Structures are given as C-alpha cells and as structure tokens.
Structure 1
Amino acid sequence: MSITSPHFKFNLSISQNPHQPFLLTSHIKSSSSSTIFKSSRTRRFQTPHPSYSINPKLRPVVTRVSNSSGSGGPFDDATSQKVSDFEASRSGDSYVGLFIRMLGLDNDPLDREQAVDALWKYSLGGKKCIDEIMKFRGSVFLTINLLKSESSVACEAAAGLLRQISSVNIYRDLVAESGAIEEITSLLTRPSLTFEVKEQSLCVLSNLSVEERFRLQIANSDLLLLLIKLLDDDEMKVKEAAGSVLANLALSDSNHKTMVEAGVIPPLAKFLRTDTEASKVIRKEAQSALLELAKDDYYKILLIEEGLVVVPLVGAAAYKSFKPSLHSWPSLPDGSELNVKQTSKGPSRFGASELLVGLHVEDDKNTKLEEAKKNAIVGRTQQQFLARIGAIELEDGSNNNQTGNRKFTILPWVDGVARLVLILELEDESAIAKAAEAIADASVSEHMRTSFKEAGAVKNLVRLLDYDSEPVRLGVVRALERLSVSNDVCQKIQAEGVLKPLIRSLKNSDASESSTHMILNILGRILDPSKEMKSKFFDAPVNGSKKGWNEAGTSNSNLTFSSQTIQEGDVSDSTFLTRLIEILKASPPVLQTKAASILEFLTAFESCREKIISLDMESALDSVFRHKFFNGKEDTESETDFQEIELQTLEIEEAGLAVSATSRLLTRLLDSEHFRKTINASRLTNALRNVLTSRIPLQNKDWVAACLVKLNSLSGPTELGSENPINTEVILYETIPRLIEQIKDSYSLEERETAVLELNRIISEGVVDSTRAVAAQGGIFPLVKLIEEGNDRVVEAGLAILYNLSMDVENHPAIVAAGAVPTLRRIVLSERPQWVRALHLLRTLPT
C-alpha cells in the first residue's frame, strides 16, 4: 500500500498490522530526504513545562499524561496545536508506525531526531496515544538509543518521550529493563547539557523511582551523587526534578544510610531555610525527603544541626483554644520583663503591642537584647499571628487532601521552636504531648536548649508537670530532662519551681522505671553536690582572670547551684527521702548512682540528715556494696561470647559509678556521731574491701579508698589488728594503679616525675606485694621510657624501682623487652651519677 500525505512522498509498503515486528533498520526512500519535515527542522516545538501531580500512595510522579488506570489528560491549546499535524487530514495513529521506523539506527540522524520529536509531541495526547506507540515493539529501545545522540534536541525529545511512557504504570518495567537508567546516568555526566535535557531525564528517573526495585538501583549507583549535585543547578526546574527523585528514593528505608552518607541532608535542608530562595515545589520535595530520613533519631539530629526542627502537625482546629494576651504590656517569651519605654498608657486597640515589640526594642538605644532573645520574639510574633488568623498550619500543606495523612512538618528553627512552645499553651492533650516529645528530640545542642529557654518552653513545661494526662507528664519530664543538660537552662528550671512537682512525681511508687530515671536525672543536676562545691570555690577569679564563676565559667546566670537556693522544706519530706532510700536498696546501678548523689546533697541540711540516718540507711548502703560483682563470685574464666563480655563490662562500669557515689555518701554520713553509733562498721568495711579488689574502673575506686581509710580511723587499731591490712589494700588496689596510670597517660612530665617518686617511696617502705602490683599493672615499660627522658631524681627513683622488680626472676623478660639493657649501658658508659645502681641492675638481668 502506498502512503502519501501533503508533506511526504514515500514509496514504501508497510503492513496494516501494528503488531507486525519491524527491523531496527528501515529503508525509507524520499525524493528529497533533506526536505522531510523541513518546517520542523527550522522551528522546534516548544512545550510548556509539565505540572507535578501527586499520587496519594507514592511520591509525586512527574508526568504530563495520565496514569495506567485513567484516560488521557486534557489537552491545552498549545498541546492541541502541537499535535495538529497528526490530526489535520486523518488520524495521527496512522503515522505512528512510520515515525517509529524512522527511528531506525541506519537512518539519517536528523531524520531520527525529527521522528522522536514528533512522537514526543504525539505522546502528549494522553494514555491512548502512548498505548498506540507501545504497540510497536522496539520503540522504547530505539528511543533510549537516541539518548546517546550529540544533539540536545534529540536527547530532550527522547527523554521527553520516555518520560511520557514511564508515567504509565504498565510500561514502567519495560523502560527500566531496556537500559534507561544506565543511559540517563551516562547522559547526565556530560559536561555541557541544556537544562531541558536535564529536566526531562530527571523526570524519567522520578517516574521509575516510584517502584521499590528501581529506587534501590538508582540509590546504589553513581546517579545519587549526580542528583545531589543537580540540587545546585542554576535552573529551578532541574532542582525540582532532582528533588522529586530524591524524595522517591527516601521512601525506601534501606536507602537512608546510603543517602545520608552521600551528603543529601545539607543541600535539601537549605531549601527549607528562610535565607534561601526556592520554589514551593522544591520545598515540598525537600520536606518530603527529609521527613522520611528524620524517622531515624540519628538522622534527625543531623537535620537539627542544619537549622531545622521537626514539628508535629496537630490540626488547625487545635489552635482555636489559643488565647493570646492582647491587652498586656509586652514581655519576653520566657516571661521576664522587657525593658522598653511605654509610649502609650492604655492597651493597644488591636493588640499590636505584642506584634510591634521588636520595633520598640530596635528604636530604644538603651535596650540591648541578645540574639537568642530577638529570635524568640520574632518566632513568637510570627506564630501567634498565624494562630490568630487561623492559618497556623496552612503554610505546611497539612490541609491539602494529598498530604493530609502527614503527621509532621519541618520548619526553620526560629519558627519551629516558637511553634512547639505555642502548642504547649493549647488545650489539646494529644498536641501537648507531641510538642513535649518534639522538644525533647530537638534539645540535642546547647544552642537549641538555650533557644527553647528563651522562647518560654521551661515555664510551660514546669506548669504541665501536674497535668492529669499520663502521656503529657511523660513527655514533659522527658523534655525537661533533655533541657536540664545545660547549666543555664537547669538554673532556669530550678527557678521556675520544678522541685515540688518533681518530688511529688517521684513519690509515686507506681511510676515507670524510665520516668523515675528521668526525674532522678533532673533532680541530680539541680541537687548536685559537686556544683555546690564549685559555687563555693569559684566565685573568686579563675586562672588569673578578673571574672568569677558566674562570669567566666559556663554559667551566665545570676543564680547559683548552692544549697542556699534550695528551700529545706521542699526537700525534707519523709516520703521523698524514703523513696530515695528504696531506690538505693533495690534498683539498677544507674538509678542507685543518682539517688546516692541526691542524698549526699541533702545531708547538708541537718533535718534531712537526721531523717536519712533514721531510715535504715545502713541496709541501703549494704545492698549497693554487695553487688554481684563485689561478692567474689564473678566468673572470669567461663567461656562467654564477645557480646556477653561487652554487656558485662557495661554492667561493671555502671556498678562502679553506683558504688563510688554511695561511698561519697557514706563518707559524708560518717561525720555524724549519731550515724557512727548506729552502723556496723566492720560489716561495711568488709564490703568495701571486696569492692576495692574488684574489677570496677580505677577512677571509681578513689572514694572507696577514702571511705575505707575514714572507717579505719574511726574503728580504732584494736578492731582490725596490729597489721592493719586496710592501708595495704588501699595502696595495692588504688594508689599504685593510679600512679602507674599517671606515668603512662599523663602529658605533663612534671606529673609523671611526681608519680615515679611517690611510687619509689611506697616500694622502699616495704609494702607487701607492692612490686608485684607494679608489674601486674604494666608499669615496667613506662618506667624504662621515663628513665630515658627524666632528670637525675627521676632516673634514681626509676632505677631503684626496677632493681626491686628485678629481685623477682619472673620480671626479667619484661624488663629486657622494655629496652632496659641499652638504657642501662648508656648510663654506665656516660658515668652518670646513677651508673653504679645501673651496673648492679645490669648484673642482675640475663644479658
């Protein structure tokens, strides 16, 4: 059959059967092939940029046509004009086979370019047109092959056609399996590429990445780095398309690690910050991707480090209960008064005083606000304004039908902090609980903790501690626990009167272990005896500075961590003290550590100390000191796997912290004569001796040793016999290991020299097994090294220690292996003052 048209003259017979296979090479004869589609060569079709439609179950699929289940999308005037060539005299379907044959590999490149361009325009007609193209086998393969073309027009048209085909679900597998991903990867690596080609290619990837298996393929290839790089492209359309692909990739949890390690968070986060210009499309794509990544707590921290905060969406209806104070003189968000001159005696008619407070501050030269306070004012003003007009969550897209199922949004930290504090003031229990949890999650740095303090979070959280709802109380306690890590914020929490509600919560014996742990953490930071000690000693200038603790130290507040700031009546409740002792008796070591520290602080109050002594304190102390690791039954020879060894090591460290804090408490209680008369000193001494010889870390043995020495001095010499083994055990298990550690690890040569001299004094006094303890702690190697570097006093002391160690033949191999022989020979040959002792030592060693 001969086919003719007003534009072409072909002498070609083609089958009417559209399913008939055809060769990749076609023999199309034209009287003037150079004039084929002449108009198309001189005037390229310009198509509008596609819109981004969103599948309610998946990420947005970049497409200009329908999905697999629908009919073709509506034509606009421009699109209708572009396909008019197919509909002018007869159905365009009759030409599809011809144009596909023109894609053959042996055709003129320009003809192939015009053919794919025509097919692209035809595919804009919708799914019916795409189905007509897909009736011809090889159409996808020939189109993908054109991605290798050096012509930007051909590449754009080929990518555009693939984009339309891949937008239909049933053809997506064929496009990917034909090598589209690999060819697009190669295409995007070209140094010079028009933004149209980039956009169309990325839209193909966006369509393919709807499928799980293709997401994994894209994420684990070189494409991921290319996508991240394209987020910095000059064209916004390219950024949007790249963001769409990344948002799809983030839907697979298995891709998260790969994406984060490739560095996807910083470039996406910048689109959500207020200092970056970006379209709504790229903001939504970046937000969708980051929300998926933020499901992991660690990745959420990385997000916060980029200046963003994950905020729960509680629904616009929840904000109806918000009632701002429209007729009050403005104050700072944290509740403190704002030092601004009041120009109007009456209240603002429209409540504008709160909104314009920033202008008042800027105009007042005598008022200097810190940056954190200014940001808090700006954030509160913006969020309260949105709440007043009922648009608080509209800008987050939470009312959009396609995103209505979202539970979180991402905001810049200034707005996010203010939003969370605003939610705390609502009446919705669920919203308050979510906000409190979000504050806890975001309080990962000093900057964020300070920001929440300045925004007024502390005041609201303390107020909510007595809330009826259990989830609210748990969320509030968790938030306060995370905020109290900061010294300044902890002082603010104390100033807001947190002690009473916390003590009421702790007295509830039905509280969960996690809640008890968090409450003890907060109380432990407020009632911290070490901070009280700092407040006594560091009010004076520090390190020669003219500033004291509150000025030069970590705290900028006028509050101090002293027992003077605590009302004795707030902490002397008998039920509260009984609860602390119960925790000390029968709780995990972590809780015992906190309880012991708080009890130590409370012993500074006479009434508290007497109540503690009368509450069977000895039984609580004994339960801590007789932990399973201190009773001599720990199995060090049993065969255990690596995981069990790690777990046991962690338990030993936690037990060491508990016994150290309890030893400090006991040392403080021993100052009371009443307490000394009520305890069994011998029993406590035996328990502490077992602790001293156990495997707990060395740094936890210092207070154990101090407590033992104090108990020994109070017991008298007759009770323990004339040999007094207490001092010997303290020397062997605490003093010598500490000195060896100082010789090994100290960076100060002076400290190492002091340790060697002290060690020599101990050994020269003939302490039993002292040399064996030095060898067991690995002290031979650092001693030899220090002899090489030290002065005459150090060399003399070190040689004396080595000589005593050499009296035990078992130590000879270690002394020789440490390199002592060459060092001793140099001392002898140089006739240093210690050469005689060095010579004696050489004669002792097997050289």
Structure 2
Amino acid sequence: MMSLTTHPHFKFGFSISQIQSHVETSSSMIFKTSRTRRKFQILHPSSSFNSSNLKLHSLRPVVTRVSSSSDSGGTFHDDTPQKVSDDIPDYNASSSPNSGDGYVGLFIRMLGLDNDLSDREQAVDALWKYSLGGKQCVDTIMKSSGSVFLTVNLLNSESDIACEAAAGLLRMISSINIYRDFVAESGAIQEITSLLRRPSLTSEIKEQSLCVLANLSVDEKLRLQIANSDLLPLLIKFLDDEDMKVIEASGGVLANLVLSVANHKVMVETGVIPPLAKFLRTDIEASKIIRKEAQSALLELGKDDYYKILLIEEGLVLVPLVGPGAYKSFRPSLHSWPSLPDGSELNVKQTPKTPSRFGASELLLGLHVEEDEQNSRLEEAKKNAIVGRTQQQFLARIGAIETETENGNSKFTILPWVDGVARMVLILELEDESAVVKAADAIADVAISEHMRSSFMEAGAVKNLIRIIDHESESVRSSVVHALERLSISNDVCKRIESEGVLEHLITLLKNSDANGDLTYMILNILARILDPSKQMKSKFYDAPVNGSKKGWNEARLSTSWQTIQVEDLSDSTFLSRLVEILKSSSFVLQTKAASILEFLTTFESCRDKIVLFDIESALNSIFQHKFFNETESEIEFEEPELQTLETEEAGVAVSCASRLLTRLLDSQHFKKTANISEFTKSLRKILTSKIPLQNKDWVAACLIKLSSQNNLQTPNPIDTDIIIHETIPRLIQQIKDSDSARIQEDAVLELNRIVSEGVVEYNRAVANKGGIFAIVKAVEEGNDRVVEGGLAVLYSLGMEAENHPAMVAAGVVPVLRRIVICERVEWVKALHLLRMLPT
C-alpha cells in the first residue's frame, strides 16, 4: 500500500493545507476574484441577514479580509461573488457552494487546545475565510458547539495572524443578531480588552477587534457592559491612531455606546468629547465616516444642557435643522455695496472701472481694504463673521445648505462655531416662522460665553433680531426677546442692542405683556442692563479708559445711552405705571428689576414727578413689609435650607434696590410732603435686624440716615444706634476676618475701637454676639503695633463684662497677652491688666 502523508493528530489521507485549500475553494464559489487594491465594502442586508440594528455594517464601510499578503476587497452581498484571497483561483459558478461544509467540523476540532499553535492558526484562518460567505456559512460554523469559545481563546495567542483571524471570525459571527449574546457570554469583551492593552498591535488586529465591539454594542445591555469596563480609555486612545480604519472602528463603537443615556456620564468623564470634536473642525483632515460617527455621538451628548456647554468649549455649536424648503425664501443682495455682517459699512476704495458682467468686481470689492487709517484693518472677529456669512450664503444659493436626509430624524446638526453662528443668523432672515423661532432659541442656548455673544454680534444677529422683535407671531416675539436677553449679558453687546433702538420696542412689549410672565422677566432683564443706575454713577465719577478702549467710561457711556435714550419714551405714563404695578405685586426677582429701572428713571425730572403720582409709596411698602420679614424663627425652620437661602438672597437684593429708589425719591419735595416717613423708618429698622446678607444692608442703612434727617419725631431708640449695631459693627468684623489687605484690617480695628470707646453697652454686646472676639484676638496676634493697640483697647472694654471671659479664653487670648507682656510691646501694661482680669 502506498504510504500517505498524515498529520500527527489526524489520520486522514491528505494534509491540513490541502483541506484548507479545499474549503477555501468551496467558500470562494460565492465570491468573485479580482486583483484590485484593498478598499472598503458595505455589508448589504438581505433576507438571510437580520441587520436592522447593525450600526456598524449598515452605516459604515468594513473590510472583509485584512491580510499582510492581500490588499483586495469588494462589495459584499449574500449572493454576490467576492474576492477572498489572491491565492484562490476562479471557479465555475455552477459548483455547489456547500461542498466545503463537511470540513467545518474538522477545522473546529483543530481549534482544540491540544493541537499545535500552527494548526490552530491555520484552522481559524480557514474558518474566517469560510465565514465571509455570509449568514449560511456562519450558521454552519455555529452548529458545532464550542467554536466560539475556542475562537475567543485564540485571542490570547502571541501570533498576530491567529489574533487577527480569531477577531475577524468573531466579527462575522457577532454581526448576526441571534449569535451576538453567545459571543459576549463566551468572554469576548474581556479577551478583546486584554488584547487591545498590548503595547504593540497591528492595525489589522485593532480594526477587527474594534469591529467585534461595534457589533456587540448594538445590544443595549452589552453597551452598558462595554462602557463600564476598561475599554473606554482604549477606545479614546485609538481615535489618535495612525490608521484611519482603526479610528473609524473606534468611532463606530463610541457612536453605539452613546446611544444609551446611562453611558453619557462615564463617557464624558473619561474625556470622549474633545477627541471626537476635533474631527468636526475644519482644520483637521478626517474621513467622511469618522466625521459622521463623531457627529452622531456628539449630537446624542448635546441633548444634555451641561454637555452642550462642553461642546461649545470645543468650538462646536448645535444648529437647528429647519428643512431645505425654508431656505427657498432666502434672497441675498448680489449688487449692493459690500458691508460687514453686523450692518456697518466696509471701508473699501471704489474704482471707476465698469462692473464685471458676471459680478466679479462686486465679489472681490471687499478684498481691497484701505489700510491708511489706524483702525481700518478688520479685527479677527469681523473676518470670521465675513467668512462664515460667505460660506453659508453660498450653500443657500446653490441649495446645498441642508438635504432632506441630513442627520435622519435629528432636530439639530453640529457645526464649527464660525459656520454655526453664520447659519443661525442666516435663518433669522428667512420667512419661515418656525425656522426663525428655532434659530432665536438656539442663539439663546449657545450665547453662554463672552466669545459667543460677541461672535453673534459681529455676525449681525442683533440687527436681525431687533428687525423682527415686533413680529405678529407671539412665539417669534418671545424667542427673539429670549435671544436678546442672553446676548445682553455682555456689556459690549448690550451697548449694540441699545444703539439699534431697541428701547422703544421693549417698552411697547412690556406694556402688553403679562405682569408675571416669562416675557416680562426677560424684558425687564434687558431694560435693567441698559438702564443701569450704577453705570450712570460710574459715568459721573470715573473717566478712565474702559476695556482697552481709548475712550473713558463717561465718553463711551454718553456715546450710547444718552444719545439713544428718548425721554419721551421713558416718561410714557402706561410704561411707568406698569413698572410700579410690577414693583407692587410681583416676586422679589421682578421687583428688583423694576426698582432698578425706576431708580434710573428718577434721573429725569419729568419721569420722577410721574412716578410719585402712581402710588409709588404703596409699591415700596409692599417690599419693605413683605411677609418674609414678619416670619418667626419657628416658621422659617420648616423651610428647606436651600430654598430658605435663596429666598433670603433674593429678598436682600430686592430691599437694597428699593432702598436706593426710596433714597432717590426723597429728593422730590412732593414725595417728602406726601410720604409717611415714620412708616418707612419703622419698616427699614426692622429689616436692618433681619437675616438678609450684610452687603444688602448698606443701602438700607443709608436710606435710614436720610429718613432720619427728614423725620422730626423723636424715637426712643436712635436710628444711628441701630445702624451701628446691625450694619457697621458686623461689616467691620467681617473686614477684620476676611480682608487680605493689612491696611483695611487696620482701619477696621481702629474704627471698631472708636465705636466701642463710646461706652454704649449695646455696642460691646454686638461685637461679642457677632464673633468679634475671635477676630480681634487673631488680628492682635498677627497685626502691627497700631492693630495691637486698637485691638487691646477693644478686648479690654469687652473684658469688663464677665460673660465675655469664656469666649476670650476660648479664642486663645491668654498666650497672646503673655507674649505681649514678655516682649514689652506697645500697650503691654494694658495687656497685663487684662490678664489679671481673666480667670486663670
């Protein structure tokens, strides 16, 4: 008998290479041989594939075969011939595609741990090639129990070929819905995690392994498992890989993981936003696939308001999709003289040449900018605004700004901030009401930083918003005011809004709005920023350059407010009565805004006289006599601490603004004759003893002093004493405790010594009750000779009361006094007397 060449582990009449070749031949009958360069392929769903949820295979190109010796590929179908290996020849299409199925079990047995690594390597490579035949081939492999476990085990191999083939086979198996759980239960996620941690891996192994994770992450519960493992840092690291296919595979996994809201927190904390955001910037070269995956992932994260802020910090903005039909109403000015997006004229030189019949001269006109004048060169912000407007208008004109299928059913897209800002401003110019509402609301959401607010101003948002602020649609008006309110946070943008003549529109809207509605709140916010009495005060006393401007504050302020404000509009009786009505019956927040605006209006005599006629006294008393200041301690204790703190702060700000308004009104002779000064004094003295923040008591105390000069009635408790006890002493103690300036601390100690030296018992008790003993002892220990002298005087006065001794000893005054006596510092004799006075 002729001898046969046999493998030591198998008694067959042919070699392993012959079996593998036969299986490759059988599986290749459903492939078409082509010697082309390696390229991407898209897996198309068919009746044999349940691929409705296969994000990786249905949305992104994948490589069916990656090999160091083969660079071929093609488009994959279940029944379409495809190239597998350059070593496999063409076969007759009429051959049976199942002729190699009988060897599948053999190769699976060859995966056994008792076989040589080289045999297991050839077996898994043959099974991978066979699985590329589609679902029918994968089903055949899965009939043999243990195939997945043995394949997962090969991921531990030190052979790159074995690892690549094992990952490729798992990729094909996990692409079938019914086998996905089985792959995960076989420990594939853990083994792939260990594999990807290796310091050196080929790009092919990385890609195949990441594609397995992409297939598994289609399942909700598997997404949670992957995100809560050590894979996230690895996935983020692979976004910086040199091979774009590895980057795309990693992006595909992240795009799947982000579909589960439960993963968002851990993904953001791991740092997924910055590396994904870079692929959407214009200065980064990236494939269309990774851009799509990054956009998909960031859109999901952008649904959270906090994560939306992180996107803006990375230079991206969410832009509403309004539909391509909305842009049909856009009509750009093709033959107008060029201007900046914000509406200001562009400083260019006109030439007498005849305009080009194609409009080229108008298009290039803006490139000839005069540079003779010092400030004629365009700032960077203006350049960005011009670039963004030009790009978006071009896309709108050619009908490519949005497509019907852009981002599927998403309501937003993500753009770099230059394009996003220009796109939103362009939408404001459309006729579609719903589109305008979306753009205005998006501007309000994005305007969270000074940079973004300034960018919208330069792009022309202010001009367009004010143009439609009187729109007949209530939703448009509300959204426009919302956007202006957020933009007006910036002082520069607020000046621009004011210069565009918005006051008349806001006054009209306020007169017709609900007294306690959201629109009223936003209008009052804008008005309070424009008609800010503190700015007026600075304009009188401060005339230095502001924010790098060559103009002083006074000149800059006069160039806006006093030139654009029309006293006739502000003195409108309906407008003033509405402000008084808000002051009388609204929340502390609205009362604060109304009081601030009314304080500004008292600057104008015509406004002040009308305000007095609208029962302003009753409105002020509604704040000063609010139930908040009449609640007992027991009633306050039942409130939640957070709500109690918030209400206290709001009440303090409202009372402070109302006190400033009352102080201004006391300059009116008519008001002084008609107002009940005694009632105001009684209310403010009670407020002075309340728990509102100390900084809010400044204007209460100032108003009380002015009231006392108007009140001829004698009161049993002088107002000056109340102010010193409840405002001056707490303020001085706070300065001694918290001030970083030695000069301020020294002045506070000396002033406190002057007050205590008056000999009023209530002053000493106030110092002790407000924690002054501990603050003074620390100041004496660390201060200079003047602080020591003044502090010892205060402590000596407090030491006259025995009830203060425990607090002084607890504050550590004894060792401090001993050091002063031993060193014979200033006032060491007084320190010695104080030591003898204290208990030992």
TM-score, normalized by length of structure 2? Answer: 0.91
**AA matched with 1:733:** H
Contact 1:148–1:187 at 8 Å: present in 2 too? yes
Equivalent position of 2:804 in the other structure: 811
Residue from 298, 301, 305 that aligns with 1:293: 301
Please give the residue correspondences for 1:599-748 in structure 2 after superposition, counting only pairs within 5 Å: 599-631=598-630, 633-636=631-634, 640=638, 644-716=640-712, 719-721=713-715, 723-748=716-741
In 1: Cα distance, 2:743 partner to 2:40 partner: 74
Percent identical pairs in the alignment equals 69
Deviations 1:486-520 (A, max 9, x none): 11100000011111111111112436622211111
**AA matched with 1:370:** E
After superposition, the Cα gap between the structure-2 partners of 1:239 and 1:133, relative to the gap in structure 1 and judged at 3 Å, is same
- Is 1:495 aligned to residue 499 of structure 2? yes
Residue from 738, 742, 745 that aligns with 1:749: 742
Please give the residue correspondences for 1:77-88 in structure 2 after superposition, counting only pairs within 5 Å: 77-79=82-84
After superposition, the Cα gap between the structure-2 partners of 1:108 and 1:688, relative to the gap in structure 1 and judged at 3 Å, is same
Residue from 502, 505, 508 that aligns with 1:504: 508
- Does 126-135 or 828-837 show the bigger shift? 828-837
User: Pairwise CA RMSD of aligned residues?
Assistant: 2.9
In 2: Cα distance, 1:48 partner to 1:703 partner: 75
In 2: Cα distance, 1:141 partner to 1:299 partner: 40
After superposition, the Cα gap between the structure-2 partners of 1:161 and 1:208, relative to the gap in structure 1 and judged at 3 Å, is same
- Is 1:383 aligned to residue 399 of structure 2? no
After superposition, the Cα gap between the structure-2 partners of 1:778 and 1:83, relative to the gap in structure 1 and judged at 3 Å, is farther
**AA matched with 2:727:** E
- Does 147-156 or 77-86 show the bigger shift? 77-86
SS in 2 for 1:310: strand
In 2: Cα distance, 1:309 partner to 1:362 partner: 33
**AA matched with 1:480:** L
In 2: Cα distance, 1:189 partner to 1:529 partner: 63
In 2: Cα distance, 1:137 partner to 1:463 partner: 72
Equivalent position of 1:142 in the other structure: 150
Residue from 794, 812, 822 that aligns with 2:815: 822
Contact 2:220–2:260 at 8 Å: present in 1 too? yes
**AA matched with 2:78:** G
Equivalent position of 1:573 in the other structure: 572
In 2: Cα distance, 1:314 partner to 1:226 partner: 37
SS in 1 for 2:344: coil
- Does 724-733 or 37-46 show the bigger shift? 37-46
Equivalent position of 1:16 in the other structure: none
Equivalent position of 1:21 in the other structure: none
Please give the residue correspondences for 1:529-540 in structure 2 after superposition, counting only pairs within 5 Å: 529-539=533-543
Residue from 28, 43, 68 that aligns with 2:10: 28
After superposition, the Cα gap between the structure-2 partners of 1:790 and 1:64, relative to the gap in structure 1 and judged at 3 Å, is closer
In 1: Cα distance, 2:710 partner to 2:182 partner: 88
SS in 1 for 2:317: strand
Please give the residue correspondences for 1:415-426 in structure 2 after superposition, counting only pairs within 5 Å: 415-426=419-430
**AA matched with 1:799:** L
SS in 1 for 2:338: coil
- Is 1:208 aligned to residue 216 of structure 2? yes
**AA matched with 1:573:** D
After superposition, the Cα gap between the structure-2 partners of 1:165 and 1:245, relative to the gap in structure 1 and judged at 3 Å, is same
SS in 2 for 1:314: coil
Equivalent position of 1:515 in the other structure: 519
Deviations 1:339-359 (A, max 9, x none): 011235666544445643553
Structure 1 residue 794 displacement after superposition: 1.9
After superposition, the Cα gap between the structure-2 partners of 1:284 and 1:353, relative to the gap in structure 1 and judged at 3 Å, is farther
Contact 1:462–1:498 at 8 Å: present in 2 too? yes
Deviations 1:514-556 (A, max 9, x none): 22111111111000011112223222x36xxxx8984388999
After superposition, the Cα gap between the structure-2 partners of 1:479 and 1:442, relative to the gap in structure 1 and judged at 3 Å, is same
**AA matched with 1:343:** T
Structure 1 residue 327 displacement after superposition: 1.0
Contact 1:65–1:73 at 8 Å: present in 2 too? no
After superposition, the Cα gap between the structure-2 partners of 1:731 and 1:486, relative to the gap in structure 1 and judged at 3 Å, is same
Contact 1:532–1:561 at 8 Å: present in 2 too? no
- Does 463-472 or 343-352 show the bigger shift? 343-352
Equivalent position of 1:593 in the other structure: 592
**AA matched with 2:594:** A
Structure 1 residue 373 displacement after superposition: 0.3
SS in 2 for 1:309: strand
Please give the residue correspondences for 1:77-476 in structure 2 after superposition, counting only pairs within 5 Å: 77-79=82-84, 91-343=99-351, 349-352=357-360, 355-361=363-369, 367-394=376-403, 399=405, 403-476=407-480
Deviations 1:15-45 (A, max 9, x none): xxxxxxxxxxx95235786866797999999
Contact 1:327–1:348 at 8 Å: present in 2 too? no
Structure 1 residue 636 displacement after superposition: 4.4
Please give the residue correspondences for 1:754-833 in structure 2 after superposition, counting only pairs within 5 Å: 754-833=747-826
Structure 1 residue 569 displacement after superposition: 1.3
Equivalent position of 2:42 in the other structure: 51
After superposition, the Cα gap between the structure-2 partners of 1:357 and 1:437, relative to the gap in structure 1 and judged at 3 Å, is farther
TM-score, normalized by length of structure 1? Answer: 0.90
In 1: Cα distance, 2:787 partner to 2:336 partner: 73
**AA matched with 1:777:** K
**AA matched with 2:209:** S
In 1: Cα distance, 2:475 partner to 2:555 partner: 34
**AA matched with 1:368:** R
In 1: Cα distance, 2:371 partner to 2:288 partner: 35
SS in 1 for 2:285: coil
Contact 1:206–1:245 at 8 Å: present in 2 too? yes
Structure 1 residue 60 displacement after superposition: 3.9
SS in 2 for 1:465: coil
Structure 1 residue 563 displacement after superposition: 4.0
Contact 1:311–1:409 at 8 Å: present in 2 too? yes
Contact 1:535–1:561 at 8 Å: present in 2 too? no
Count residues with an aligned counterpart: 806
SS in 1 for 2:414: strand
Deviations 1:141-198 (A, max 9, x none): 1111111111111111111111111111111110111111101100000000000110
SS in 2 for 1:356: helix
**AA matched with 1:293:** L
Contact 1:103–1:143 at 8 Å: present in 2 too? yes
In 1: Cα distance, 2:301 partner to 2:541 partner: 47
**AA matched with 1:399:** T
Contact 1:65–1:127 at 8 Å: present in 2 too? no
After superposition, the Cα gap between the structure-2 partners of 1:685 and 1:481, relative to the gap in structure 1 and judged at 3 Å, is same
Equivalent position of 1:75 in the other structure: 80
Structure 1 residue 404 displacement after superposition: 2.5
Structure 1 residue 715 displacement after superposition: 0.8
After superposition, the Cα gap between the structure-2 partners of 1:510 and 1:786, relative to the gap in structure 1 and judged at 3 Å, is closer
In 1: Cα distance, 2:547 partner to 2:278 partner: 41
In 1: Cα distance, 2:811 partner to 2:601 partner: 51
Deviations 1:103-128 (A, max 9, x none): 11111111111111111111111111
SS in 2 for 1:846: coil
Contact 2:319–2:442 at 8 Å: present in 1 too? yes
After superposition, the Cα gap between the structure-2 partners of 1:558 and 1:711, relative to the gap in structure 1 and judged at 3 Å, is closer
Equivalent position of 2:488 in the other structure: 484
**AA matched with 2:593:** K
In 2: Cα distance, 1:330 partner to 1:180 partner: 62
